[in-house]
Chains A and B, each alone.
Chain A
Amino acid sequence: MTAFSSWRALFVREYLEHRMAFQWAPIGILTLIGIAGLSSVTLRRIDGLEKFPYFDALKIYELGYLVLLALWLAYLAVALFFYFGDAFSADRRNNAMLFWKSMPITDAKILTSKVLAGLLFFPALILVVAMASGLLLYLLVNLAAYVAPILGFLSPLAGLSAFGQVTLFGVVFFVLVMAWFAPFFAWVGGLSTIFGRWSLPLAFVIPGLLAVIENVSFFGQGPRGGYIWQYIAYRLNYGGLNEADFQLMAMNSRPFDAMFYINRLIQGTNWTQMGIGLAFAVIVIFLASEYRRRRIA
């Protein structure tokens, strides 16, 4: 047994407890996407692409894969919201607190493993499913080209290159988004340690009330909506890319260049706010672990 093996065991524990949301459900959705895509191509419901052939197969593939990544990221965000609202109080709700307290692991380590599972391990699982959907899309695009030759085929080499570029961008985007929203997820998890699943509404109600109190107290003195509301609105929007970047992605006739957009992400990210958010997340998790250390029921 090593220090690593206990971390591994805690990650495996999270995986086993939450594999339905982060493995089986995504695989089920991917299967549905595959069936839907196959049926749309074989039943020739791709007349939109045929009537308006502005994009070649490569562009269709790149944009399709980017949209799929965005959809998987949206799924991940929702699943993580419920995960953080559930996992931090699961031991108490499942009457398993005393069992975990009988193990030679600290409460801080248990909560840290939950945070790392939520921000690294589960996003990695979703990313793997997203990559599988990218490969599936490659097959569908070529199948569509077979049914409607006007689209043109996407060669394996070009497809692999596009897949690699979009995936590389997707990995960096996932990492940055997770880091940007880490304080929000930690906030939900911290509340869950105390309030259980009530953390889900409270995650919005508490800052909402604070914003209302600020407005009532200092009405007209601050910015529109108040400082709290302004800041929350800013933090709820990751500004790594702007509208022009997304337009460029859609309209640029050249193949997708991951490094260009990664550079845009690095330039567009507010690293000071990123650091403040991560520090906030660490503090919240520390406070939650201290609360858990003092409570057994």
Chain B
Amino acid sequence: MTNSIVSVRSLKKQFGKNEILHGLDFDIPPGRIYGLVGHNGAGKTTTLNAMLGLTSYEGSVQVLGQDPYAHRASLMKDVAFISDVASLPRFLKVRELFQMLADIHPNFSGEKAVKFLEGTDVKLGALIGNLSKGMLAQLHLAVVLAIDAKLLVLDEPTLGLDITYRKRFYRRLLEDYMTAERTLLITTHQVDEIEFMLSDIMFIRDGALILHMPMEDVPARFTQLVVSPERADAARALKPVFAETRFGQTVMVYDGADQAALGALGSVTTPTLSDLFVALMSRDSGVN
């Protein structure tokens, strides 16, 4: 894909003799909101680090047409990322941080950052080291929202935050940041909370991409069937990718099955992202 924001080919990464990424291939077009989902240690952060020029790798990674490892500094004019909300310089006051960023980053707007902080408890005269974790997240979000970037990468941005902060975080992201020209890539464990905003989903397991598709195609491909015990064997014959028993009924997830045939066996729905995550990422599919 020639107009991709991100183009990854045969991406491999080794730590010592241990291969973490086993040759990933994917493209991310502009204007999309991507969710990269996987277990701890699946390779999400390593993939993001390779895209952000933070680590070396084998294969080819192009972000906005540049090799991120060779040109990280230049790339960061158009790429913003949060890998850890606790990484802001703690010895600065908020006002000093904005002034410094205005001097360092050509696409940062201090006025926008101040505007994004309105309505929060973060004051311009506050020392960053004295802010709570929630305030730090709000401040860091204000910083990246005030950067006119083409690609925003968020690696577990709400880790450790309570539900109020998390919901506010994603709402502001969607309302104040996303435009047709911007692309957002986000990783999180709390897949339910970002499902509503995603346009595309990528599942990574053990360093390999096992699912990469637009969210709008999920209902056509994946089906969840709730079936009574007496019809469970018939449902198993249609080869579900996952099965589990909940409250006396069997829940099965199918990949590419005939939905009409499934409908005859029980209640058919589209699996939620978290159901799909459990179905595709579980080492024990429960089918047998």
Instruction: Give the B-binding residues of A (Cβ under 8 A).
Output: 1, 5-6, 8-10, 12-13, 16-17, 94-99, 101-106, 109, 293-294, 296
Write the B70-92 contact mask toward A (1 if CB under 8 angstroms, else 0): 00111111001111101111111
Closest-CB distance, B153 to chain A (whole angstroms): 9
A residues within 8 A CB of B75?
A: 104
Whether A104 pairs with B74 at a CB distance below 8 angstroms is yes
- Residues of B within 8 Å of A97, CB to CB, are 87
B43-60 vs A, Cβ < 8 Å mask (1 yes, 0 no): 000000100111110000
Q: A1-B102, A9-B100, A13-B100 are in contact. Are A102 and B49 (CB under 8 A)?
A: no
CA–CA, A13 and B103, complex, Å: 11
Q: Is the CB of A104 within 8 A of B73?
A: yes
CB of A16 within 8 A of CB of B103, answer no
Q: How large is the interface on B (under 10, 10 to 19, 20 to 34, 35 or more residues)?
A: 20 to 34
Contact A16 B91 (CB under 8 A): yes
Take A16-B96, A95-B84 as given contacts and tell me if A103 and B90 are in contact as well, using a CB distance cutoff of 8 Å: no
- Contact B104–A99 (Cβ < 8 Å): no
Contact with A along B238-252 (1 / 0, CB 8 A): 000000000000000
* Contact in complex: A96, B89 (CB < 8 Å): yes
Which residues of A lie under 8 Å from residue B80 when comparing CB positions?
102
How far in angstroms is the closest Cβ of chain B from A105? 6
B47 to chain A, nearest CB (A): 14
Chain A contacts of B263 at CB under 8 A?
none
Interface residues of B in 196-249 (CB under 8 A from A): none
* Residue ID in chain A nearest B53 by CB atoms: A101
A6 to chain B, nearest CB (A): 5
Residue B105 lies at the interface, judged by CB distance under 8 Å to chain A: yes
The answer to whether A101 and B103 touch (CB under 8 A), given A16-B91, A94-B89, A95-B84, is: no
User: CB within 8 A of B89: which of A99, A101, A104, A106?
Assistant: A99
The answer to whether residues A101 and B52 also contact, given A9-B100, A13-B100 and a CB cut-off of 8 A, is yes
* Distance of A225 Cα from B77 Cα, bound (Å): 53
Closest to B90 in A: A94
Tell me whether B286 is interfacial, beta carbon within 8 Å: no
The residues of B that contact A101 with a CB separation of less than 8 Å are: 52-54, 72, 76
Contact of A296 with B73 in the complex, beta carbons under 8 Å: no
The answer to whether the Cβ of B65 comes within 8 Å of any Cβ in the partner chain is no
Contacts of A293 in B (CB 8 A): 72
Decide: B86 and A6 in contact? CB cutoff 8 A.
Answer: no
Which of chain B's residues have a CB closer than 8 A to the CB of A102? 52, 76, 80-83
Cβ-based interface call for B106 (8 A): yes
Q: A99-B88, A294-B56 are in contact. Are A104 and B76 (CB under 8 A)?
A: yes
**CA distance in complex: A10, B102 (Å):** 12
* A98 B91 Cβ-Cβ under 8 A: no
Residues of A within 8 A of B84 (CB): 95, 98
Q: Which has the most chain B C-beta neighbours within 10 Å: A12, A96, A102, A103? A: A102
> Beyond A101-B72, A104-B74, A106-B73, is A6–B104 a contact (Cβ under 8 Å)?
yes
Residue of B nearest to A109 (CB): B73
Chain B residues near A6: list those with CB within 8 A. 103-104
